[in-house]
Amino acid sequence: MSRSSVSKSHMFLIEFICVVMFFAICASLCISGFAKAETLSNKGLLLNRSVAGAETIAEEIKAMENPTEPQIAGIIEEKNGVEKEITYRCETERNNDILSAKIEAYNGESLLCRLEVKKYISNGGKDE
Amino acid sequence: MIERNQVKTKKYGQWISTLFTVLLLAVLGISALFTILFGAKIYENISGRMDDNFNRSTALSYISNKVKQGDRINSVEVKDIDGISTLIITEESESGNYVDMIYCLDGKLMELFTETSNQLDLGDGMEILSLDKADFSVSDKGVIEIVVEDGGKTGNLSLYVRSLQNGREVQAYE
């Protein structure tokens, strides 16, 4: 076997290693892309569901005549009981005749969406 | 003797080199296969999730927009027609009175928009999209609850309709 044949074989091996390394880099980029796509798709689905859920809570608050904090907490609790991956939280603030409620939807600790609803309460919510 | 050993060593080296190349080729092939399989699985997941979600969320958005658009006094109601839960939105205009009915029939979300005087039945409606089930109910607070079901999964949305007079007096502003 001549020296040039051994050198050719080594060159081929080095070239092949380079190809494998290039492929490995491309594959790792592709896989990270795939994983990101999966995460994004899952997040999108959760966002859709959380928006519908938050909208439902907001509409129910608007439907109440004189919403009180325990009533709102009841709605949130009921909604949290139904949903598995989404947790809803609500902060209320009363400013004279206006009740504002900030509804937030979380997946674990990450915020999915936030919705603010304001409701005019006649008589400032006091019973006549 | 020495030459013989040298030839043997060279042959052995060549054999190792070939084996290593073949191994590398195998690694490349297996990695490529796994990358493709992984990508295909992810694509399948995403596509399935989108299909799963599309019908329910589109149906909910469509119905929600229709209700909000037609939210005028005494114009939105929920009825059971031939055992089918139907959302009815009536519309009065100079050209006549119209009724828009949204319901689920034979695995399809349907809409029938016609003049009130027309005697069309639910089968004459237009198909909007595929949906297994759609249920409408009204609470005494004037909230319409829409529950849609497709592919064994449900989605729901509540809408506070200002025009419903079931629970509360609606104040009409001139």
- Per-residue pLDDT reduced to its tens digit, B19-34: 888 888 888 889 889 9
Instruction: Say which residues have a Cβ less than 8 Å from residue B95's Cβ, sequence separation at least 6.
Output: none
Partners of residue B113 on adjacent β-strands:
B100
Instruction: Say which DSSP state A84 is in.
Output: S
B38 and A31: CB-CB below 8 Å?
yes
Residues of A in contact with B39 (CB under 8 A): 30, 34
Q: How confident is the model at residue B60, as a pLDDT?
A: 92
Whole-structure pTM value? 0.75
Beta bridge partners of B158: B145
Q: Is the CB of residue B142 less than 8 Å from the CB of residue B168?
A: yes
Residue linked to tokens 């044949």: A5
Tell me which residues of chain B, numbers 20 to 79, contact chain A at a CB-CB cutoff of 8 Å: 20-21, 24-25, 27-28, 31-32, 35, 38-39, 42, 45-46, 49-50, 53, 57, 60
Q: Cα B42 vs. chain centroid, distance in angstroms? A: 19
Q: Would strands B133-138 and B143-150 be described as parallel, antiparallel, or unpaired? A: antiparallel
Min distance A124 CA to chain B CA atoms (Å): 18
A17 contacts B42? CB cut-off 8 A: no
Per-residue pLDDT, averaged over A85-89, amounts to 90
Min Cα distance B174 → chain A (Å) is: 20
pLDDT in tens, B101-111: 999 999 999 99
* Assembly ipTM: 0.70
Pair of tokens at residue A112: 């999915």
Q: Which residues from A are below 8 Å from B54, CB to CB?
A: none
Residue in chain B closest to A23 (alpha carbons) equals B28
Chain A closest-CA separation from residue B98 CA (Å)? 27
Of A1, A9, A48, the CB nearest to B57: A48
**pLDDT score recorded for residue A80:** 84
Alpha-carbon torsion angle B17, B21, B22, B26, nearest 10: 150
Closest CA to B109 of B135, B76, B134, B90: B134
Specify the 3-state DSSP secondary structure of B152: coil
Residues of B in contact with A48 (CB under 8 A): 53, 57
Nearest alpha-carbon partner for A88 in A42, A59, A117, A51: A51
Task: Return the pLDDT at B88.
Answer: 92
Q: Give pLDDT tens digits for A37-61.
A: 989 988 988 898 899 899 989 988 8
Q: Which run of H or of E encompasses A17?
A: helix A3-63
Q: Which amino acid is at B46?
A: I
Put simply, the answer to whether B25 touches A12 (Cβ < 8 Å) is no
pLDDT band at B141 (very low <50, low <70, confident <90, very high): confident
